[in-house]
Amino acid sequence: MTSAAAPHEHAPAQVGAFRHELLLYAGEDDFVAATSSFLREGVEAGEPALVVVSARKIQLLREALDGDSASVLFADMAEVGANPARIIPAWRDFVTEYEPAGRALRGIGEPVSAERGPAELTECQRHESLLNVAFDGAPRFRLVCPYDVDALDADVIAEARRSHPFVLHGGASLDYRGGDACAAPFDAELPEPPAPPAEIAFAAGDDLSIVRAFVARRAEDAGLAAERAMDLVLAVDEVAANSVRYGGGLGTLRVWRDADALFCEVRDRGRIAAPLVGRQRPSLESEGGWGLWIVNQLCDLVQLRTFADGSVVRLHMRLS
């Protein structure tokens, strides 16, 4: 079976050393055929490769590559990218480790799958756009992102065409939105809570212990395990502190739950201008940038939005 790449994508795209490529495939057999071929080319050329896909697909690729799989690194997307904001740091670690050797690098990453819920899917799509910002100019790094046309909706495939400058075996993408658009503040609306949430306001000069206690009580009421409740309290405290420092000195916290998760949302008057905030590990000498990095390590999902009148940070913590 051949790969399901579309034939019409040959318009010019901005070409850099980082080559971010879309692979459209139809089912597991097509996935294995296309990705194993890409990896074998890299093995023969002596190019280090990292594959971040599901455990099932890792098994299939190991079998297809046979002895060649020993020189390919694998990681389970369910572990690396449960929170999509953690994926770029994983790729950065790979590039940082192997880049000094001067060899070209290869990667395969499949963050988007039919198993993702709506909020996760949106954040995966944001991640795919931000890859073009994070690795702009990275020397000789080819990253292929597979999308299953049999399992994913047409609008998901259409968005994939907009976030990838190239299509594997298809040339430059006609639909790529461009680097500037990928780096622009993200202003997609967030769905409102299904019922009025619990709410509290805070401002500079307030003791943020009231915010922490507010979250702790809701976490206990929701039945969140003690350790995860502590993580959520710490995450909200970091976001609230950022609001006081950079968001106009005040903010509003809303908390609600559904059958699966507890949600905490902080709104303030600040603007989140740095596209990769929370997705770049600060240096040990850095005084700033730690807040949203810590939040992404603690929470199951983090959604950042920036509007004309301020910003929103929504934290998700699964109940089980």
pLDDT (tens digit per residue) in 30-60:
999 999 999 999 999 999 999 999 999 999 9
Cα–Cα distance between 259 and 83 in angstroms, integer?
19
Q: What is the CATH number of domain 18-183?
A: 3.40.50.300
Q: For domain 198-318, is the CATH number 3.30.565.10?
A: yes
Going by their DSSP bridges, the two strands 310-318 and 261-268 should be labelled as antiparallel
* Nearest to 39, CA basis, from 111, 105, 85: 105
**pLDDT tens column, 289-302:** 789 999 999 999 99
Q: What is the pLDDT of residue 312?
A: 98
**Distance, CA of 251 to chain centre:** 26
The pLDDT value given to residue 13: 41
What is the pLDDT at residue 313?
98
Helix (H) or strand (E) holding 182, with range, is: helix 179-183
CB 121 within 8 A of CB 160: no
Residue 88: both structure tokens together: 């770029």
Exposed/middle/buried for residue 227 (C-beta within 10 Å: 0-12, 13-18, 19+)? exposed
pLDDT of residue 16: 46
Residues (pLDDT < 70) of the chain are 1-16, 286-288
Q: Domain ranges for the chain, please list them.
A: 18-183, 198-318
Query: What token pair was written down for 92?
Result: 């950065």
Closest Cα partner for 228 from 120, 119, 318, 117? 318
Angle formed by the axes of helices 290-298 and 226-246, to 10°?
A: 160
Contact 262, 317 (CB under 8 A): yes
At residue 4, the pLDDT reads 45
> pTM of the full predicted structure?
0.92
Strand runs labelled E in the chain: 18-25, 49-53, 72-76, 105-109, 141-148, 166-167, 171-172, 198-203, 250-257, 261-268, 301-307, 310-318
- b/e burial code for range 131-151 (CB count within 10 A of at least 16 → b): bbbbbeebeebbbbbbbbbee
